[in-house]
Structure 1
């Protein structure tokens, strides 16, 4: 049962919130081999007894990525450095969930400090893909994607710095939205790269995404970058599909596997039948976006992670060397790269040029949107790869080839389940102009309804 159907059942009295929470808690324990959760909320049954059945998310269990701080559950960010850390406050996104009647089911696995594309860089254990447990669920929100895909939770929160919601969503056959930068508060999100990070939802249907976004979106006085744009996600889905102008990014058409190319073609064919005008467009900067991202993101990480000195918070160690030793290999790699590009001898050559390119990339995108409603491209060039297969970090980084541009430009982007290759899901990505988040969901809903949800599968069956 999808989240919006569960909500209806709770409101109508056909299901009790405790019954729902009990089923998902038991299911999460039964499928612990997927490594989706780092911690489960053992008080969730007690909390379910106090749910207001008229609340916007009444009794819906939500899995929360473990880089969003929670007062009642530990927050590790997937790192030994924060093992056993309890925050003295709650992330705004989590607080809004609770105020809307949702139940935090647990904290999900991730690459350490959200730095990775496979959840193999979690300091605790890797997460696994429900479609094939020998493969990655993606990253860094791999635990959230695996939890939703396996219906261990009907909804989940993730964070997206360079594709960390959309890539695992594609690998696990669910929807994942990176909202417009500022649409959802980042207060309480453990920062990786502050100008790129964005909190967003994962779900098994477009209507479920809208349900969650209507609660999450909105201005927050605790986050100066948050936007005051009105939230009307569910209302937008009830409006007629407008005439659409879709641009297929030609720079994203080469180098993909056959299944990914086939899914993209199938998506465009369906949208064409629905009346969309489709044309091929060029976005020259896309091919260089990955290079810029892996300069800018590590630079910000180098600054943000300097605070983990074992003094104010985190694991307390005898000295700086011991504390730094707790960082995993990938975190160390990115911190070192970031420190290098910020050093006085290389700042302009690397960081300065990357920032100039970032501005150019956004100008190019906005120019395309002058006569387009959305850009269409694959979410990833391949389906999920086997755990342990990506020994070369550069090969791993290339999985973000099509996703980092949305973070560099701050534009909304949505991964839509659109097909399968060898039994593994693949996704198509929609990217729109600023604040077109609702419009992207409306396009995705049209595709979902036209295909009768043929690309939505729950590999381990449903909880309800």
Structure 2
């Protein structure tokens, strides 16, 4: 086994025993990244920074070293990293190198992590297939025929890099499923924490009331280790919760006897593939065999989640993206004679934003406009409150976690949705957006392969602030499923 194929927990143990140096581990990842160029997962490589951090981590080993000392990670391109391009995969931020470090990356570096580089994503995190990036598509390392498959989105580069062993773990962000859906498509673990558990400071914003950063890893244990380093109160983020961070790894007892797992009847979607239905049934069986009580529950407002999400998210995006105007940083259009300030705004935004971002900004501006604010935005906010109330009632009745499919299908081919109605692509988020609207933690765990040999995941949804319990349920599901398949190396 090459060092880059280790899990975070395995690498931590090997480093502690002196079986491996951080420099060797980092070099193994850099070599794998080089060979993995066809996946287009890493878009800004930082080998000098990585090796400097690796040497420092080697010198620090032993007493007082951080929880992630010497662990090489990939960072999604919308986390601001000091002096390193942070473009959110958009041409409008071309050349932008922040003078500051996001809270999440600061915390990771304090814990001793090594940054290998920045990862591909959908532009401004808007997409479910990583096809809206200014860097081109990220490619799923799983391949079963001559097609190139999507790694999912928006954290597609993060998912592809972890699944292909280019790094030991990666950061992602999740606004409507952007950690969990790509994790399911690539056979890895991805957790979206409770809204406010991880600071959003220094992360390029898409929809501020929905965005949450989280880890994407090879195992549930790794997700617990990485989340522990990322989480915590941050006074620089007004939405960050001042709640202690438990030891997530210590919570992985593997014991869920007597716990109640809810199965929401509304997630049985019309036209859901039989394979997804069968996988869900298998997940229920595995949790029941582990001693959990399976309970049928109702989340009646689920059917309104997608329309509410695709009003609220674009509305917040149109407001957040108003700052990209060509005045202070990033791309500025070349102006003709006689062009004024309005021409500069219009030309810069038309050139800098891709089609999907333009589509969402226009939808968002429309639903916030004077004549339509009540009809759309305010109504969507009321629906969101009802969706949250559904979950609150279920948890009040003693449910500990909720089991659902993670995605409506396995990974599809790149380009296959290009000529479809954009709404078809939005349907990829059908099982994941409710969790963001309600601010809850959710995790995707790889559980099996479909008939074509592609990975499928199940989602567990937890109580607010109970990532520890959620990770333990996920750990039990992971152990029972015994998913160890890896993509065949074709790149």
* TM-score range normalised by the length of the shorter chain: over 0.9
Cα RMSD after superposing both structures: 1.2
Give aligned pairs, total.
459
CA offset at residue 433 of structure 1? 1.6
Superposed, 1:82-93 pairs within 5 Å as 82-93=93-104
Q: Which residue is equivalent to 1:233?
A: 248
Q: Does 1:50 align with 2:65?
A: no
Maintained 8 Å contact 2:150/2:414: yes
Q: Which residue is equivalent to 1:341?
A: 367
Residue 457 of structure 1, aligned match among 462, 465, 485:
485
Rounded Cα–Cα distance in structure 1 between residues aligned with 2:253 and 2:18? 25
Maintained 8 Å contact 2:81/2:101: yes
Maintained 8 Å contact 2:68/2:111: yes
Q: Does 1:157 align with 2:203?
A: no
Rounded Cα–Cα distance in structure 1 between residues aligned with 2:262 and 2:248? 23
- Could you report, residue by residue, the CA deviation over 1:24-66 in whole angstroms, capped at 9, with x for unpaired residues? 0110110110111111112112321111223210111111100
CA offset at residue 239 of structure 1? 7.0
Rounded Cα–Cα distance in structure 2 between residues aligned with 1:210 and 1:180? 14
Superposed, 1:409-428 pairs within 5 Å as 409-421=438-450, 422-428=452-458
Rounded Cα–Cα distance in structure 2 between residues aligned with 1:374 and 1:361? 16
TM-score, normalised on structure 2? 0.92
Rounded Cα–Cα distance in structure 2 between residues aligned with 1:65 and 1:130? 18
Rounded Cα–Cα distance in structure 2 between residues aligned with 1:355 and 1:211? 35
| 225-234 or 78-87, which deviates more | 225-234
| 441-450 or 152-161, which deviates more | 441-450
| 312-321 or 131-140, which deviates more | 312-321
- 3-state SS in 2 of match to 1:104: strand
Q: Which residue is equivalent to 1:217?
A: 231
Q: Which residue is equivalent to 1:35?
A: 40
Rounded Cα–Cα distance in structure 2 between residues aligned with 1:402 and 1:449? 23
Q: Which residue is equivalent to 1:112?
A: 123
Greater Cα radius of gyration, structure 1 or 2: 2
- 3-state SS in 2 of match to 1:290: helix
Maintained 8 Å contact 1:63/1:105: yes
TM-score, normalised on structure 1? 0.97
- Could you report, residue by residue, the CA deviation over 1:364-395 in whole angstroms, capped at 9, with x for unpaired residues? 11101122111111111111111111122110
- 3-state SS in 1 of match to 2:87: coil
Residue segments in structure 2 that go unaligned for 5+ positions in a row: 1-5, 336-343
- 3-state SS in 1 of match to 2:463: coil
- 3-state SS in 1 of match to 2:459: strand
Q: Which residue is equivalent to 2:475?
A: 445
Maintained 8 Å contact 1:173/1:456: no
Residue 354 of structure 2, aligned match among 311, 328, 335:
328
Q: Which residue is equivalent to 1:367?
A: 393
Maintained 8 Å contact 2:120/2:158: yes
- Could you report, residue by residue, the CA deviation over 1:382-429 in whole angstroms, capped at 9, with x for unpaired residues? 111111111221100000001000111101111111111111111111
Superposed, 1:237-316 pairs within 5 Å as 237-238=252-253, 240-254=255-269, 255-316=271-332
Q: Does 1:400 align with 2:414?
A: no
Rounded Cα–Cα distance in structure 2 between residues aligned with 1:242 and 1:411? 23
Residue 81 of structure 1, aligned match among 92, 95, 110:
92
CA offset at residue 242 of structure 1? 4.4
CA offset at residue 169 of structure 1? 0.4
CA offset at residue 460 of structure 1? 4.6
- Could you report, residue by residue, the CA deviation over 1:310-334 in whole angstroms, capped at 9, with x for unpaired residues? 1111112341122112200000000
Rounded Cα–Cα distance in structure 1 between residues aligned with 2:124 and 2:115? 21
- 3-state SS in 2 of match to 1:316: coil
Q: Does 1:389 align with 2:395?
A: no
Rounded Cα–Cα distance in structure 1 between residues aligned with 2:488 and 2:197? 33
- 3-state SS in 2 of match to 1:306: helix
Residue 376 of structure 1, aligned match among 403, 410, 432:
403
| 425-434 or 40-49, which deviates more | 40-49
Rounded Cα–Cα distance in structure 2 between residues aligned with 1:269 and 1:189? 39
Maintained 8 Å contact 1:151/1:460: no
CA offset at residue 104 of structure 1? 0.8
Maintained 8 Å contact 1:34/1:128: yes
CA offset at residue 73 of structure 1? 1.6
Rounded Cα–Cα distance in structure 2 between residues aligned with 1:196 and 1:377? 20
Q: Which residue is equivalent to 1:201?
A: 215
Maintained 8 Å contact 1:66/1:77: yes
Rounded Cα–Cα distance in structure 2 between residues aligned with 1:413 and 1:399? 16
Residue segments in structure 1 that go unaligned for 5+ positions in a row: none
Q: Which residue is equivalent to 1:2?
A: 7
Maintained 8 Å contact 1:111/1:121: yes
Maintained 8 Å contact 2:257/2:291: no
Q: Which residue is equivalent to 2:22?
A: 17
CA offset at residue 302 of structure 1? 0.3
